[in-house]
């Protein structure tokens, strides 16, 4: 059995992909297309080999992507047209099963919310609209299997195989490590997107922290996956010194 993976742009994406790969036979041949990023997020080969449960063959071009015969194509967020075209050219008669895993909470909007995200990232009205519409059409017409975290048809129930992979990635968590009354801020990479300056954003976080602490709540910051942790200081930053890139990937920071 052959599997091709493309579209990974953060380590969080690897968790979604791993949850699907874990259902496959251990001798599955896996090719992973490198490249692609989102803001500060980076994915190294070491990240990939640690996260994925199969042996990985790394490739850096769609020309090396396609094996002969039936193949399962695993895409993040939406099927990629270039990888699909490369797979089809390699073996026009082969069967291609396209599996789409989540890219994050953005998966659960529609083409309008995706267009709004592209506009926030600096895209033009025309390009953002065309891109969002193309992805929505591709998801609807090219996807064989949706592998989501939440199942809309089941009243947004959590899909256990994906949830289990996140628990595996997080490792053991002490139930008593968080106070019963706590507030968790899920951040967005506004500074990296150029929508606000770092000082203003830090002041905003500080104000939120002060409000929550005054109310007797434990205040935690959970970064967006695109906010890289490579500048993490030795001690967790409290709001007066908070910067988006100063937070760990998996564990919320306690202030």
Question: Are 166 and 224 part of one and the same domain?
Answer: no
Please, which contacts does 213-218 make with residues 24 or more away whose CB atoms are closer than 8 Å? 213/255, 216/181, 217/179, 217/181, 217/182, 217/183, 218/178, 218/179, 218/181, 218/182, 218/183, 218/254
Question: Are 145 and 227 part of one and the same domain?
Answer: no
Question: Are 205 and 125 part of one and the same domain?
Answer: no
Question: Are 88 and 120 part of one and the same domain?
Answer: yes
Six-digit token string for 129: 């609209």
Domain boundary among 115, 138, 170: 170
Question: Are 28 and 104 part of one and the same domain?
Answer: yes
Domain boundary among 149, 170, 191: 170
Mean pLDDT estimate for the chain? 82
The mean pLDDT value for 125-132 works out to: 91
Q: Is 77 left (phi over 0), alpha (psi -120 to 50) or beta?
A: left
Select the more confidently predicted residue: 237 or 92: 92
Question: Are 189 and 99 part of one and the same domain?
Answer: no
How far apart (Å, rounded) are the C-alpha atoms in residues 65 and 6? 10
CATH at residue 145:
3.40.50
Above 90 in pLDDT, residue 195?
Answer: no
Question: Are 69 and 191 part of one and the same domain?
Answer: no
167: closest CA among 180, 152, 149? 149
Question: Are 112 and 229 part of one and the same domain?
Answer: no
Q: Is 58 left (phi over 0), alpha (psi -120 to 50) or beta?
A: beta
Six-digit token string for 242: 């908070």
**What local confidence, expressed as pLDDT, does residue 196 receive?**
86
**Tally of CB atoms within 10 A around 7:** 20
Question: Are 125 and 166 part of one and the same domain?
Answer: yes
- What would the DSSP string read from start to end of 21-64? HTTS-TT-EEEEE----BTTB---HHHHHHH-SS-EEEESSGGG
| Buried residues in 183-206 as b, exposed as e (16+ CB within 10 A) | eebebbbbbbeeeeeeeebbeebb
Give the model's confidence band at 31: pLDDT under 50 very low, under 70 low, under 90 confident, else very high.
Answer: very high
Q: Is 124 exposed, middle or buried (0-12, 13-18, 19+ CB in 10 A)?
A: exposed
**Residue ranges making up the domain that contains 56:** 2-170
- pTM for the predicted model, two decimal places: 0.79
Give residues with Cβ within 8 angstroms of 236, minimum separation 6: 253, 254, 255
Select the more confidently predicted residue: 85 or 176: 85
Torsion from C-alpha of 202, 106, 34, 171, nearest 10 degrees: 70
Six-digit token string for 236: 């967790």
Question: Are 133 and 228 part of one and the same domain?
Answer: no
Above 70 in pLDDT, residue 176?
Answer: no
Q: How many structural domains does the chain have?
A: 2
Question: Are 59 and 120 part of one and the same domain?
Answer: yes
Question: Are 137 and 233 part of one and the same domain?
Answer: no
- DSSP annotation of 169: H
pLDDT digits (tens, 9 = 90+) for 74-113: 999 889 888 888 888 888 888 899 999 988 766 777 889 8
**What local confidence, expressed as pLDDT, does residue 229 receive?**
53
Residues constituting the chain = 255
Domain boundary among 124, 139, 170: 170
């Amino acid at each position: 059995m052959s599997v091709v993976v493309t579209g990974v742009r953060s380590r969080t994406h690897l968790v979604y992909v791993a949850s699907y790969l874990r259902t496959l036979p251990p001798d599955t041949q896996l090719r992973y297309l490198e490249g692609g990023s989102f803001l500060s997020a980076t994915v190294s080969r070491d990240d990939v080999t640690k996260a994925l449960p199969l042996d990985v063959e790394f490739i850096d071009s769609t020309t090396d992507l396609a094996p002969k015969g039936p193949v399962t194509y695993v895409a993040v967020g939406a099927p990629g047209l270039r990888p699909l075209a490369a797979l089809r050219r390699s073996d026009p008669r082969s069967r291609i099963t396209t599996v789409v895993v989540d890219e994050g909470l953005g998966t659960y909007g529609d083409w309008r919310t995706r267009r709004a995200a592209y506009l926030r990232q600096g895209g033009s009205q025309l390009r953002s609209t065309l891109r969002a519409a193309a992805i929505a059409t591709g998801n609807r017409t090219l996807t064989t299997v949706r592998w989501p975290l939440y199942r809309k048809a089941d009243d947004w129930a959590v899909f256990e195989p994906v949830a289990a992979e996140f628990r595996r990635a997080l490792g053991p968590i002490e139930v008593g490590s968080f106070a019963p009354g706590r507030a968790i801020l899920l951040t967005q990479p506004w500074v990296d997107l150029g929508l606000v300056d770092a000082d203003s954003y830090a002041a905003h976080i500080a104000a939120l922290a002060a409000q929550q602490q005054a109310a007797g709540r434990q205040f935690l910051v959970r970064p967006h996956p695109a906010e890289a942790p490579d500048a993490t200081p030795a001690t967790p930053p409290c709001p007066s010194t908070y910067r988006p890139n100063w937070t760990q990937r998996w564990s919320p920071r306690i202030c």
